[in-house]
């Protein structure tokens, strides 16, 4: 029975058509309200605005949400319409390394904070809601297995810089979900062979469901540095569009490889098929010449047939911020 179901999922995934449409590029020097645009790690659409989360830890102005106007009739991103919404930190000692963003019908943002395990004591991951002026409202209660030891040898929890990277709020489905970028630690210097997704109803502050996800394998050239999951979108309650991204060292420097996958829940697991590889799309490569550090996804219409992919330039002087428009049918 399971094999028939899995075969049907694979057939449906391969039948879907992912098409690159156009791109926009911002130079590393581009500013919105006197602050450099960079570190964009996730996005979400509301009405005619796309909201991007910046993972600025403070070096370029601090944690903030950057918005740009979106013209759905012309399929145009207005890069001259930028506005900043600064996230108010509860304490100056707390690191905000924001990687994911979602938005509910009350115009409240759900944000994911990877924390900083190099701090003493270690600062673990967080999921929390903020209002329209960036004030913290309420926190999601995370299961203990996701939280690192505060001190001493770390034997559990997220790995540093591999926390909740993928985040999606779906108002129609009335749920939120979050993916880890890398596997959990299960013992000292030992990690799981899979990633984890957590999920709950939109009004809940507790995790209701957990799923395992296959550990992404790097398939690009060079010496692999990392491969993980950076964002996802709900297609339905049980199906999702997933962004995986890897990095490698080569003679040309740091190279990125990325792919889009379709995920299907199967009890406590998520099966996946990855039919689209960014690095193999010649039309895309003619537009942007090389694949950047792709980290964010957001739907651009209610039918979920159009989406945007955004890159994180890590505030590098030599890397631009890239926006990629896609159709899905």
Q: Report the SS3 class of residue 15.
A: helix
Spatial separation of the C-alpha atoms in residues 299 and 105, rounded to whole Å: 15
pLDDT for residue 8:
61
Label the pairing between strands 209-214 and 194-201.
antiparallel
Contact 125, 158 (CB under 8 A): yes
Domain that holds residue 280: 2-328
Distance from chain centroid for Cα 10? 24
pLDDT for residue 223:
73
pLDDT for residue 190:
85
The count of structural domains within the chain is 1
Nearest to 228 by CA among 174, 159, 168, 171: 159
Distance from chain centroid for Cα 83? 21
Tokens of 20: 């690159």
pLDDT for residue 1:
52
Those residues of the chain that have pLDDT short of 70 are: 1-15, 91-92, 220
* 6, containing H or E segment: helix 2-15
DSSP symbols for 188-203: TTEE-SEEEEEEEETT
Domain CATH for 288: 2.115.10
Spatial separation of the C-alpha atoms in residues 92 and 152, rounded to whole Å: 24
Spatial separation of the C-alpha atoms in residues 20 and 39, rounded to whole Å: 23
Spatial separation of the C-alpha atoms in residues 22 and 284, rounded to whole Å: 8
Check whether the bond before 121 is cis (ω within 30° of 0). Answer: yes
Q: Report the SS3 class of residue 175.
A: strand
pLDDT for residue 197:
98
Name the burial class of residue 304, with classes exposed (0-12), middle (13-18) and buried (19+) by CB atoms within 10 angstroms of its CB.
Answer: middle
pLDDT for residue 153:
92
Q: Report the SS3 class of residue 80.
A: strand
Q: 110: how many CB neighbours lie within 10 A of its CB?
A: 23
Prediction pTM value: 0.95
Tokens of 103: 């938005």
Question: What does the angle CA 70 – CA 73 – CA 79 come to, to the nearest 5 degrees?
Answer: 25
Tokens 């029975």 map to which residue?
1
Dihedral pair phi/psi, residue 185, rounded to 5°? -80, 140
Sheet order of strands, 98-103 included = 98-103, 109-113, 126-130, 136-139
Give me the sign of the Cα torsion angle 97, 225, 156, 204.
Answer: positive
pLDDT for residue 187:
81
Spatial separation of the C-alpha atoms in residues 71 and 97, rounded to whole Å: 30
Q: Which residues pair with 68 in a beta bridge?
A: 50
Tokens 């990877």 map to which residue?
114
């Amino acid at each position: 029975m399971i094999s028939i179901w899995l075969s049907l999922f694979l057939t449906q995934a391969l039948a879907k058509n992912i098409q690159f449409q156009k791109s926009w590029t911002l130079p590393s020097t581009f500013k919105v309200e006197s602050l450099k645009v960079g570190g964009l790690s996730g996005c979400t659409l509301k009405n005619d605005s796309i909201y991007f989360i910046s993972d600025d830890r403070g070096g370029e102005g601090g944690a903030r949400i950057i918005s740009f106007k979106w013209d759905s009739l012309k399929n145009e991103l207005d890069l001259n319409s930028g506005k900043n919404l600064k996230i108010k930190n509860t304490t100056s000692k707390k690191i905000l390394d924001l990687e994911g963003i979602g938005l509910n019908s009350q115009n409240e943002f759900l944000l994911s904070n990877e924390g900083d395990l190099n701090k003493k004591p270690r600062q673990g991951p967080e999921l929390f809601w903020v209002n329209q002026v960036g004030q913290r409202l309420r926190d999601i209660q995370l299961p203990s297995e996701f939280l690192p030891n505060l001190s001493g040898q770390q034997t559990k929890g997220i790995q540093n810089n591999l926390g909740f990277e993928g985040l999606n709020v779906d108002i129609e489905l009335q749920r939120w979900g979050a993916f880890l970028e890398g596997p959990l630690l299960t013992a000292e210097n030992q990690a799981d062979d899979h990633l984890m997704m957590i999920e709950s109803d939109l009004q809940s502050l507790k995790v209701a469901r957990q799923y395992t996800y296959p550990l992404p394998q790097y398939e690009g050239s060079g010496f692999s540095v990392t491969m993980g999951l950076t964002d996802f979108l709900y297609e339905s309650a049980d199906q999702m569009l997933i962004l995986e991204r890897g990095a490698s060292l080569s003679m040309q420097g740091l190279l990125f490889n990325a792919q889009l996958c379709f995920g299907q829940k199967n009890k406590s697991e998520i099966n996946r098929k990855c039919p689209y590889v960014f690095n193999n799309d010649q039309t895309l490569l003619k537009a942007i010449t090389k694949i950047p550090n792709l980290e964010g996804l957001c739907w651009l219409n209610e039918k979920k047939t159009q989406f945007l992919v955004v890159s994180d330039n890590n505030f590098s002087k030599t890397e631009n911020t890239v926006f990629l428009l896609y159709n899905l049918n």
